[in-house]
């Protein structure tokens, strides 16, 4: 093995984890437990990943805190106290920091270190990772915990460089916060981030313009302080709750109605929808078993929400503009917020339609629409989303066997086996990658499932003296087809204009990326593959050059 590359000493570990968000932190814990020497490299100045960078006002999880947390330590889940039903960003960030401290993980996490490229050294069967700090790392295993919503997307808009005000992206919010008091502010976008941010920012600003291209459906989160009896009940039954989540459709404990919307009477349907509205947030998507497969059932739920919007927003025209049209509910990620529609009753908030008259350019003073109207603002907030699911991996663009780069391998859309591994990229594990339930699930459940599988795979390789693992092209093609077919049975196949399809990024192939076959089914599949001796994978048993079993650098 080379000890130096271009005059730089190479630092060797069994595993490099790229990223120290919820996935990276969990990976460090599990790998260390398995006796694998590990170093996590994190671009940010702290642990937390998404929850480190998305500090915009109102940032909050849309999965209940008691579910959106690690299950790997019973002591941890018993000790930690969530203050609200849905945790806000500061509390989740505190939790991740607590986990890093409680399990003494920081000594294996290197912050402010961006992995800028990676390449597989075929002779050594090791990954070489290069960082913006000039350091070079070598590892047998590359665990890509790079996040699925980690590359903020600022749309290319003419004139932004001439804008005299300040501008921000929700996904890259300044750590010190932003003072918007007394300012005229514009928010571009009405997705999840915007719908959480708008009600809070509206209370601070002199005036708020909301630039809406596509109206989405926003549920009331129905957030509230944690009820002691709920917490007690969960803590008493945590193992059962986790087991349920791991076997469920979406990786959490939300109750699902298993009836078709068509089997129910109109009264029963309405009662179910009202109940879902009261439960709040993503519960609406479990109202009927066929809400995401039957257009008529979907429309019943969609119209129910439109009626709620009309009943909330006083100005008729604004209410109608906020009502989503030509969009199946849930096929763009359902939003969950507090007082979102109510905010449009404020005198200092104006909804600006930019669908029928698109943004022409940014001017020195604000936003110019193509019909010539201009909106002057002191600050601009881009709530315009992410290069989701593949953005962070494509940015590193790992180079695998035969010098083939990932961007080339994924030119027509991401291809993976089980959403975990990529043919031609041995010993690379993509945590919650495309082709896995990922964003279609409680991310913490999916993260833990992937890391459990990855660590077991590494242990298997060590036990059998195997040096590399990668999927066969055939297994990868079959899985990718299965992922597409699963989506094809749902309304997602007919609603391609979302980040689930990569449609928000110019030039990105429009391919449905997550796996919608259900978390429980998926977990059974990956478990079966491992138990079968890793069907669909091939191993090499070339003697490993160095395979340290002690913690620390090798």
Binding site for ligand NA7 (CB under 6 A): 149, 155, 170, 188-194, 211, 213-214, 333, 354, 359, 383-386, 439, 499, 504
> DSSP code of 3?
S
Minimum CB separation of residue 424 from ligand NA7 in Å reads 30
H/E stretch holding 133: none
> Whole-angstrom Cα distance, residue 220 to residue 281?
6
Neighbours of 150 (CB within 10 A): 26
Phi and psi, residue 415, nearest 5°: -125, 125
> Whole-angstrom Cα distance, residue 417 to residue 168?
37
Minimum CB separation of residue 192 from ligand NA7 in Å reads 4
When the beta carbons of 172 and 376 are compared against ligand NA7, the nearer one is: 172
When the beta carbons of 54 and 415 are compared against ligand NA7, the nearer one is: 54
> Whole-angstrom Cα distance, residue 140 to residue 110?
18
- What's the token pair of residue 509? 């192939």
When the beta carbons of 77 and 338 are compared against ligand NA7, the nearer one is: 338
> DSSP code of 421?
B
Minimum CB separation of residue 205 from ligand NA7 in Å reads 19
When the beta carbons of 189 and 426 are compared against ligand NA7, the nearer one is: 189
Minimum CB separation of residue 497 from ligand NA7 in Å reads 7
When the beta carbons of 43 and 389 are compared against ligand NA7, the nearer one is: 389
Cβ atoms 224, 281 nearer than 8 A: no
Minimum CB separation of residue 518 from ligand NA7 in Å reads 18
Minimum CB separation of residue 85 from ligand NA7 in Å reads 18
Neighbours of 498 (CB within 10 A): 21
Minimum CB separation of residue 340 from ligand NA7 in Å reads 12
Minimum CB separation of residue 194 from ligand NA7 in Å reads 6
Residue 509 burial (CB < 10 Å; 0-12/13-18/19+)? middle
When the beta carbons of 442 and 476 are compared against ligand NA7, the nearer one is: 442
Minimum CB separation of residue 379 from ligand NA7 in Å reads 17
When the beta carbons of 179 and 370 are compared against ligand NA7, the nearer one is: 370
Neighbours of 499 (CB within 10 A): 23
> Whole-angstrom Cα distance, residue 173 to residue 270?
40
> DSSP code of 544?
P
> 97-122: string of b/e by CB count within 10 Å (b at 16+)?
bebbeebebbebbbeebebeebebee
Minimum CB separation of residue 319 from ligand NA7 in Å reads 18
Handedness of CA 285, 288, 289, 290 (dihedral sign): negative
When the beta carbons of 103 and 340 are compared against ligand NA7, the nearer one is: 340
3-state secondary structure 280-329: CHHHHHHCCCCCCCCHHHHHHHHHHHHHHHHHHCCCHHHHHHHCCCCCCC
> Whole-angstrom Cα distance, residue 23 to residue 286?
26
| Residue number closest to ligand NA7, CB atom | 191
Of 61, 170, 47, the residue nearest 444 (C-alpha): 61
Bridge pairing between strands 126-131 and 136-144: antiparallel
Phi and psi, residue 362, nearest 5°: -90, 135
Radius of gyration, CA atoms only, the chain:
24
Of 450, 451, 454, 425, the residue nearest 435 (C-alpha): 450
When the beta carbons of 96 and 439 are compared against ligand NA7, the nearer one is: 439
Minimum CB separation of residue 197 from ligand NA7 in Å reads 9
Of 332, 60, 94, the residue nearest 200 (C-alpha): 60
When the beta carbons of 214 and 348 are compared against ligand NA7, the nearer one is: 214
When the beta carbons of 194 and 309 are compared against ligand NA7, the nearer one is: 194
Neighbours of 521 (CB within 10 A): 13
When the beta carbons of 261 and 514 are compared against ligand NA7, the nearer one is: 514
Minimum CB separation of residue 506 from ligand NA7 in Å reads 10
Minimum CB separation of residue 354 from ligand NA7 in Å reads 5
When the beta carbons of 149 and 469 are compared against ligand NA7, the nearer one is: 149
């Amino acid at each position: 093995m080379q000890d130096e590359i271009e005059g730089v000493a190479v630092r060797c570990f069994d595993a490099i984890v790229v990223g120290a968000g919820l996935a990276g932190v969990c990976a460090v814990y599990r790998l260390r437990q398995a006796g694998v020497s590990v170093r996590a490299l994190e671009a940010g100045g702290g642990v937390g990943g998404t929850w480190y960078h998305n500090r915009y006002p109102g940032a909050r999880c849309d999965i209940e805190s008691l579910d959106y947390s690690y299950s790997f330590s019973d002591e941890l889940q018993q000790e930690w106290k969530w203050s609200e039903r849905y945790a806000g960003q500061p509390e989740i960030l505190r939790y991740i920091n607590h986990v890093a401290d409680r399990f003494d993980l920081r000594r294996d996490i290197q912050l402010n270190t961006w992995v800028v490229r990676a390449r597989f050294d075929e002779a050594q069967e090791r990954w070489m990772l290069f960082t913006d700090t000039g350091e070079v790392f070598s590892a047998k295993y590359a665990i890509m915990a790079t996040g699925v919503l980690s590359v903020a997307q600022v749309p290319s808009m003419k004139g932004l460089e001439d804008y005299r005000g300040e501008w921000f992206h929700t996904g890259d919010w300044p750590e010190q916060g932003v003072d918007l008091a007394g300012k005229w502010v514009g928010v571009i976008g009405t997705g999840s981030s915007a719908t959480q941010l708008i009600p809070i920012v509206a209370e601070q600003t002199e005036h708020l313009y909301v630039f809406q291209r596509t109206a989405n459906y926003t549920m009331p989160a129905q957030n509230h302080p944690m009820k002691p009896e709920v917490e007690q009940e969960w803590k008493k039954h945590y193992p059962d709750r986790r087991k349920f989540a791991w076997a469920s459709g979406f990786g959490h404990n939300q109750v699902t109605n298993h009836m078709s919307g068509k089997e129910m009477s109109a009264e029963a349907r309405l009662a179910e929808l009202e109940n879902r509205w009261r439960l709040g947030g993503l519960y609406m998507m479990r109202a009927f078993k066929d809400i995401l497969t039957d257009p008529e059932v979907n429309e019943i739920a969609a119209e129910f929400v439109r009626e709620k919007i009309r009943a909330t927003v006083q100005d008729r025209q604004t209410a109608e503009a906020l009502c989503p049209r030509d969009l199946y509910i849930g096929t763009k990620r359902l939003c969950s917020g507090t007082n979102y529609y109510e905010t449009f009753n404020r005198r200092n908030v104006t909804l600006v339609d930019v669908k029928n008259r698109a943004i022409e350019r940014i001017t020195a003073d604000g936003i110019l629409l193509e019909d010539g109207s201009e909106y002057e603002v002191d600050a601009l907030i881009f709530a315009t989303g992410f290069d989701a699911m593949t953005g962070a991996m494509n940015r590193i663009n790992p180079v695998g066997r035969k010098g083939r780069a990932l961007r080339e391998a994924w030119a027509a859309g991401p291809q993976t086996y089980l959403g975990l591994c990529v043919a031609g990229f041995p010993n690379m594990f993509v945590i919650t990658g495309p082709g896995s339930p990922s964003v279609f699930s409680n991310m913490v459940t999916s993260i833990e499932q992937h890391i459990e599988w990855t660590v077991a795979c590494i242990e298997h390789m060590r036990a059998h003296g195997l040096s590399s693992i990668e999927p066969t092209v055939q297994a990868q093609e079959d899985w990718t087809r299965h992922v597409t077919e699963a989506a094809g049975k749902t309304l997602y196949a007919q609603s391609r204009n979302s980040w689930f399809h990569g449609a928000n990024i110019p030039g990105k192939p429009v391919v449905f990326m997550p796996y919608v076959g259900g978390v429980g089914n998926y977990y059974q599949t990956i478990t079966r593959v491992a138990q079968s001796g890793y069907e669909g994978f091939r191993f090499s048993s070339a003697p490993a050059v160095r395979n340290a079993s002690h913690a620390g650098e090798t």
